[in-house]
A and B are shown apart, each in its own frame.
Chain A
């Protein structure tokens, strides 16, 4: 396949940035999208030009590091996958592909296609944990049976990879799906009950401070989420928040 790429280039956080056109040829449909970018970068290095910077690590859809906005969609045209799992067989010979970073106020650009998502980490610092020390004296793991349905639902919420596609797809740049997933995981487990009130209040407060927008229920996040995190998590967080506010 031969392709035209329109890629966002931005030297650093203070640079203005612009779209630049590139051509790549001999792309195999079996390549992943990132391997296609590797081909481009090898070309650029050989021509003494600067390669395109993009985030990636595991390249199998689990670390949450890759983050491209491809043809107007977070993680590109396929569903239920991350950019590193997107394969070139989704495109046609001669296509023009637009590649931009995830855009949101709370995700400033670092360089080219790389953005800073540490706002997500700071939300976790505020309450994304259960306060238990490593003592070796915790109760036996089977001492509290947990209903399989609850355990599975908590697990599903916990599979969020923190990629930020939900934020990038949302017209308000809301982080509700991400935060809802974490709040839900703990809300569904008996171990998470003790700190439930503080957790949801603190995490939501931090989320607002980071400059994420409000949720207006458009559902775009759920559609683009590579891990199928459902909107129910947002509803559950809202219930938890209400409960906590009444108590608090």
Chain B
């Protein structure tokens, strides 16, 4: 099947408006006859479910947690972008569009990104109207901060809990519709398959996680907003339950999987402390607004710091290497995430890592504390030369901005970041890849939509900070409600989709077969045993820097591990009860397939772009020596993989990317 992205004709700035003017609408009375399933109630799924219910559709929403409010979006810390230009610093729809395409290393679809930038301002208006308490200035207006990879302040935030506040906003909109009976909420339910009838997505199979009951649910369209698959690395900043299962099952039913190898490795996470670790914790990128990143210039100081004979704060300024400021004077500590992550790895690989494992760099707030302290003293008419006072005042400002992050750090590391620099290291954080969708956010399966982090759409090869929240809410509140109407207008006379068809029965039987296998298999190893092994392969060979040899090895190692898993996995208990090991087994089984496709995709892409860095594709000389080298001539396409059984048999389809409104350039942050 040829890929048709369905991008509307016309100038980029008019595409979305023209599109909306020409789609088919469903009249309000008919919406009552149409059922829609939304799987996932994070920012994307939650906002979509609420809006579709407001419009009048009958919505059934699903999540695996005990409440929509706990979706992983809740953990987003730093902020959400919008082209409001409240700061008057030259922001505009075009500039947000431009920054996002450039930040994504020219591997995203122009028309989608433009639309995202266009609706971004509406998101902020909508959220404020819902009662989302964003941070404000003393004058009562909304405050902004800046994030990596851009030169304007366009990020709206709520301390270090922006995702929480936005999700609670979407959750409250859902609650209103649940209260009115327009959304039927199924919590603690896991989707285990998509059901296709007559070629169209018409329902799903779920497992009730409390009773183990397998259920059939039908609808006229199915929307997946099931989040990212970073947990294929075992250790990531994602929540423990985040998984690829819903997306992978859709893939197996015909939805192409796009750019699986585009993963974001976030530069500021708390370093790994030991083998017992179950997850990694992010320290928001917003900290790079005020924190300066460094390692010692000299090996002897590195050693002294590791032996604890030298306190980092006592090392003289002249002996510190603020390597981001040195290498990228224009953006300094605010370079995009992929650049910052690779720079940290480069210093640590060269031996300058500052903790026991040699995998950490410093993020230092001492100068910000000084600066803010002096400022506050000045404003309050106090003594600017009183060092102790300045420090206290400065610490208060920092606490106000990042208090919850500092507290989190202190609890985990047992060090006080107000008085000693934080230690940070890159960790897997976000997946730009995901289910391929067209301009309508529809997958290659008619009637099956995919939104939020689960799709591949707007971030290209690298996501700029504060763009995922924007995309999730844009998809759910402002894009999908239009595009899905165009599709559903054909279904006003279809009537309820029966669940007793052969298609539902077959899908249910398949699900049961797998669950049965797990609880009866007499294996030797727990699910985590396999997940951890997979994570190691992924991190070592498909992680921050990739090469042909490592990727080829990873592919065969994952294949072997998968075979071992199906032979030797051990799941206690039964299917007819709450059984977390059983739920995990299904998720890891899917990760074991995705992991291989991921490596295969990385091997195919013989260029470095954004979150995908190939050691054999770097600039060899000139000002950009050592930086990632993109190959626009041969790789300016989206890889969309079609399922054919084994991941090794997956067939590659290419969506050629055309750049009409932005010139393709070497991405420079120097």
Q: Which bracket fits the contact residues of B?
A: 35 or more
CA distance A46 to B84 in the complex (A): 56
Cβ of B658 under 8 Å from chain A: no
CA distance A185 to B125 in the complex (A): 18
Name the interface residues of A180-233: CB closer than 8 Å to any CB of B.
185-186, 189, 191-192
Identify the closest chain B residue to A31 (Cβ): B276
CA distance A124 to B573 in the complex (A): 35
CB neighbours of B358 from chain A (8 A): none
CB neighbours of B277 from chain A (8 A): 35
B75–A130 touching, CB < 8 Å: no
Cβ of B137 under 8 Å from chain A: yes
Cβ of A103 under 8 Å from chain B: no
A140–B173 touching, CB < 8 Å: no
Cβ of A95 under 8 Å from chain B: no
Interface size on A, residues (CB 8 A): 78
Cβ of A114 under 8 Å from chain B: yes
Partner of B133 from A31, A63, A127, A154 at Cβ < 8 Å: A154
B408–A60 touching, CB < 8 Å: yes
CB neighbours of B210 from chain A (8 A): 110-111
Cβ of B159 under 8 Å from chain A: yes
**Complex interface bits, B155-166 against A, C-beta within 8 A gives 1, otherwise 0:** 000110100110
CA distance A152 to B158 in the complex (A): 9
A62–B75 touching, CB < 8 Å: yes
Identify the closest chain B residue to A67 (Cβ): B66
**Complex interface bits, B560-580 against A, C-beta within 8 A gives 1, otherwise 0:** 000000000010110001101
Cβ of B119 under 8 Å from chain A: yes
CA distance A35 to B412 in the complex (A): 12
B129–A57 touching, CB < 8 Å: no
CB neighbours of A191 from chain B (8 A): 128-131
Cβ of A148 under 8 Å from chain B: yes
B137–A148 touching, CB < 8 Å: yes
How many whole Å from A163's CB to the nearest CB in chain B?
A: 10
B66–A117 touching, CB < 8 Å: yes
A134–B126 touching, CB < 8 Å: yes
Cβ of B546 under 8 Å from chain A: no
A128 and B273 in contact, given A111-B577, A148-B137 (Cβ under 8 angstroms)? no
A57–B72 touching, CB < 8 Å: yes
CA distance A141 to B83 in the complex (A): 12
A59–B278 touching, CB < 8 Å: yes
B138–A38 touching, CB < 8 Å: no
Cβ of B222 under 8 Å from chain A: no
Cβ of A2 under 8 Å from chain B: no
How many whole Å from B78's CB to the nearest CB in chain A?
A: 13
Name the interface residues of B91-140: CB closer than 8 Å to any CB of A.
119, 122, 124-131, 133-140
B481–A121 touching, CB < 8 Å: no
CB neighbours of B125 from chain A (8 A): 138-141
Identify the closest chain B residue to A81 (Cβ): B411
CB neighbours of A138 from chain B (8 A): 122, 125-126, 128-129
Cβ of A70 under 8 Å from chain B: no
Cβ of B239 under 8 Å from chain A: yes
B131–A162 touching, CB < 8 Å: no
Name the interface residues of A126-181: CB closer than 8 Å to any CB of B.
126-134, 136, 138-142, 145-148, 151-152, 154-155, 158-159, 161-162
Cβ of B74 under 8 Å from chain A: yes
Identify the closest chain A residue to B160 (Cβ): A62
Cβ of B279 under 8 Å from chain A: yes
Partner of A57 from B65, B136, B171, B481 at Cβ < 8 Å: B65
Cβ of A80 under 8 Å from chain B: yes
CA distance A140 to B121 in the complex (A): 9
Identify the closest chain B residue to A49 (Cβ): B572
Cβ of B318 under 8 Å from chain A: no
CB neighbours of B65 from chain A (8 A): 57, 63, 65
A134 and B478 in contact, given A126-B179, A129-B176 (Cβ under 8 angstroms)? yes
Interface stretch among B47-55, B360-368, B374-382, B630-638?
B47-55
Cβ of A102 under 8 Å from chain B: no
Cβ of A21 under 8 Å from chain B: no
Partner of B165 from A45, A140, A141, A158 at Cβ < 8 Å: A158
CB neighbours of A192 from chain B (8 A): 131
Cβ of A69 under 8 Å from chain B: no
Identify the closest chain A residue to B138 (Cβ): A148
A125–B578 touching, CB < 8 Å: no
CA distance A158 to B127 in the complex (A): 14
CB neighbours of B218 from chain A (8 A): none
A186–B131 touching, CB < 8 Å: yes
CA distance A145 to B139 in the complex (A): 7
A133 and B179 in contact, given A59-B279, A87-B412, A155-B159 (Cβ under 8 angstroms)? no
Which one of B50, B173, B175, B481 has the greatest number of beta carbons of chain A within 10 Å? Answer: B175
CB neighbours of B140 from chain A (8 A): 145-148, 151
CB neighbours of B69 from chain A (8 A): 64, 121, 162
Cβ of B142 under 8 Å from chain A: yes
Cβ of A93 under 8 Å from chain B: no
B407–A80 touching, CB < 8 Å: yes
**Complex interface bits, A9-32 against B, C-beta within 8 A gives 1, otherwise 0:** 001100000000000000010111
B142–A63 touching, CB < 8 Å: no
Name the interface residues of B340-355: CB closer than 8 Å to any CB of A.
none
CB neighbours of B178 from chain A (8 A): 125
CA distance A49 to B571 in the complex (A): 10
**Complex interface bits, A35-56 against B, C-beta within 8 A gives 1, otherwise 0:** 1001100101110111101011
CA distance A44 to B165 in the complex (A): 38
How many whole Å from A62's CB to the nearest CB in chain B?
A: 5
List 15 A-B residue pairs with CB atoms under 8 Å apart, sorted by A's residue number.
A28-B274, A38-B278, A45-B526, A59-B279, A80-B407, A125-B179, A129-B130, A134-B173, A138-B129, A139-B129, A141-B128, A147-B140, A148-B136, A162-B70, A189-B131
Known: A62-B161, A136-B126, A152-B133. 6 other contacts (CB 8 A): A28-B274, A48-B570, A57-B72, A118-B187, A138-B126, A161-B164
| The 3 A-B residue pairs with the shortest CB-CB distance in the complex, in nearest-first order | A145-B140, A129-B172, A155-B133
